[in-house]
Amino acid sequence: MLIIWLLLVLFISIVPVPRTGIETGEFDKLVHFVIYGITGIFILRSLADKGSRPLIITLLSIIASSTYGFFLEVVQSLLPYRSFSVNDILANCSGATIFVISWGFLKKGLLKGKG
């Protein structure tokens, strides 16, 4: 599932976006936040299957998701119809961090509650 998700994110990151004349404003940053948050969770779940320590898995998930977002921003800078955005990178990193940490707390709380 992770590979399919990463390919989908790659695809939507490199296809030309038609200009509609409608200003998206900060909605674009929210989309980045959510997409890379989901990416972080997919990576977290994939790494969790490997049986490593939770803190290491959490950090690796955040770093991997953020790095993937940075890489795709660099790729976009090479495309004539896309552009590089530091604000997008910040939204990517923020989404990955908040989603992954929240997921960890949620799962820990759910497991603790099952006692």
Determine the pLDDT at residue 11. 96
Model confidence at 111, pLDDT cuts 50, 70, 90, reads very low
pLDDT digit string, tens, across residues 32-81: 999 999 999 999 999 987 777 888 999 999 999 999 999 999 999 999 99
Cα separations in angstroms, 57 against 47, 77, 89, 97: 6, 30, 21, 12
